[in-house]
Amino acid sequence: MRRHIAGMSQKSYLFITLDSCRYDTFSQAHLPNMKGVGPCYRAMAPGNNTFSSHSAMFVGFTPGVAGVKRSFVNPKFGRIFKMVDGGFQGKGREHVTLEGKNIITGFKRKGYHTIGTGAVGWFDPRTETGRVLGQDFDEFFFPGDTWSLERQVEWVLETLSQKGARPSFVFMNIGETHVPYYFKGASWSPEDNPCIPFSEHNSAFECRRRQHLCLEFVDSQLVPVLERFRGENILICGDHGDCWGEDGLWEHGIHHEMVYAVPLAFSLIKS
């Protein structure tokens, strides 16, 4: 039995996470398509690695700007996705309220077709840990590496074309911005990683240059998906960033401001 919660928008949702994408990379890159979604905020991620951050986001803790009294920019003030289990119904400033163990099951209970694709290893369904994040989607696709956005886009569009008239919740985790910062057709090898923890051969210059180029590639590839969701709900954010030598630290999975600082952009239709 499906129950309708007051205020629920029947518009579809597109939720994109740019894995390991630093805020400064996003702000400095030429991204006409993603930046066209809405203003970009320098937000703090809820976790310092893919698994922890997505686990939090999947129960409504999206990146936010503390101290700002604005819904969706600061999830403490008003969340985009509010899980109402546990007896707390919210503050009336949420975009959508959901019931279930996470936002995926919450949307399913409202009749949404849930479609997901994740590029990094934490989404690999061949492992027990990898199955955790993707197991609740109606349909899920793991491409097998972090530079297959073209295949992810193709799969999402084909899956959407078969869903009929039902609204959809679509999640995309994009891997090109994750180490080794590589996209299909790039002039460098994916075996050449400029950001390895504790390595003496890292290059902050190459990290910055490559993630910048990867992000611009991602922006060009996302055009058909963003067009498909024009006039509906779109959320784009980083799940965490990376250190590029700041305080002698590299990559993520560590507590550092540059790991937590991520881009946040959205366009949400008033329900």
139-153 per-position pLDDT tens digit:
999 999 999 999 999
Cβ–Cβ < 8 Å for 60, 81: yes
H-state helical runs in 173-252:
204-221, 223-228
Domain assignment of residue 8, yes or no: no
Per-residue b or e along 4-18, where b marks 16 or more CB atoms closer than 10 Å to that residue's CB: eeeebbebbbbbbbb
Q: Is the predicted pLDDT of residue 37 greater than 70, yes or no?
A: yes
Domain assignment of residue 4, yes or no: no
Sign, Cα dihedral of 116, 264, 132, 55 = negative
Domain assignment of residue 5, yes or no: no
Say how far apart CA 197 and CA 200 lie, in whole Å: 9
Q: Is the predicted pLDDT of residue 75 greater than 50, yes or no?
A: yes
In degrees, rounded to 5, the angle at the alpha carbon of residue 70 between the alpha carbons of residues 69 and 73 is 120
DSSP H/E element including 44: strand 41-44
Say how far apart CA 270 and CA 90 lie, in whole Å: 17
Domain assignment of residue 131, yes or no: yes
Domain assignment of residue 1, yes or no: no
DSSP H/E element including 106: helix 103-109
Q: What is the arithmetic mean of pLDDT over 86-111?
A: 88
83: Cβ contacts below 8 Å, ≥ 6 apart: 59, 60, 97, 98, 99, 100, 102, 103, 106
Domain assignment of residue 156, yes or no: yes
What is the reported pLDDT for 92? 82
Total number of domains constituting the chain: 1
Range of the domain at 53: 13-245+252-267
Cβ–Cβ < 8 Å for 271, 9: yes
Q: Is the predicted pLDDT of residue 9 greater than 70, yes or no?
A: no
Domain CATH number, residue 173: 3.40.720.10
Higher model confidence: residue 239 or residue 164? 239
Domain assignment of residue 2, yes or no: no
Domain assignment of residue 6, yes or no: no
Q: Is the predicted pLDDT of residue 201 greater than 60, yes or no?
A: yes
Percent of the chain with pLDDT over 90: 90
pTM of the model: 0.94
